[in-house]
Structure 1
Amino acid sequence: MKNMTVIVNCFDYKAIAQKAHRINKLPSIVCYERPADFPKKFVARLFYLGNTTITTNVVVTGDTYDELLEKINPVLDYLGMVKFNRAPGDDNCIMEVWL
């Protein structure tokens, strides 16, 4: 059950910053609108980017986009993350990426 998705109410921004520094990778949050595994939710997933990408099993969910943003804003502010709109080749359910 190691790969089981863990839904949290908000991301632990201090833990994310510490891990990113320890593993020398850039934290990234990808926001989705109704992905296949959460067809009625907006979802933010945590990744770490570098030479390789580490996909985590940690997600934040919301019933609306505004609710999701409210939940993830503390980590976005703390880490100074910048929003990038979805790229043309991205999966249709991807809304944006925060780096």
Structure 2
Amino acid sequence: MKKKESTLSEDDGSIWVVYESPVDFPDQYVARRLYLNQPTSDFVVGDTLIDVRSKLPKGLFRMERSERDDPQVRESWI
């Protein structure tokens, strides 16, 4: 059973990690919220990277992926 997509409000200093085609959402993009480096149940899903970006809380700063990131990670937002 898939979890319900999050309804977002202002962010609290979390990190949002954007993945391309994770196992639970093949052929889609998913942004998952980490709080204090711990996973939360909050996420947003979109068919494109731009779609997912539009669903993230306003005022975040984009960080490029690191070579140490999982290959499915496209970017992170803080």
- TM value normalised by structure 2: 0.83
Q: How does 1:17-96 map to 2 (within 5 A)?
A: 17=12, 26-49=13-36, 53-72=37-56, 75-77=57-59, 81-96=60-75
In structure 1, stretches of 5+ residues that fail to align are: 18-25
> In the aligned structure 1, how far is the partner of 2:4 from the partner of 2:17?
15
Q: Which runs of 4 or more aligned residues in structure 1 lie more than 2 Å from their structure 2 counterparts after TM superposition?
A: none
Is 1:5 the equivalent of 2:36?
A: no
Report the Cα offset of residue 76 of structure 1. Answer: 3.5
Number of paired residues? 78
Report the Cα offset of residue 6 of structure 1. Answer: 3.0
- Alignment identity in percent? 30
- Between structures 1 and 2, the one with greater helix share: 1
CA RMSD of aligned residues (A): 1.9
Provide, for residues 34-55 of structure 1, a one-character-per-residue CA deviation record: whole Å limited to 9, x for no partner: 1111112110101112xxx221
Q: What is the DSSP-based 3-state SS (H/G/I as helix, E as strand, rest coil) of the residue aligned with 1:76? A: coil
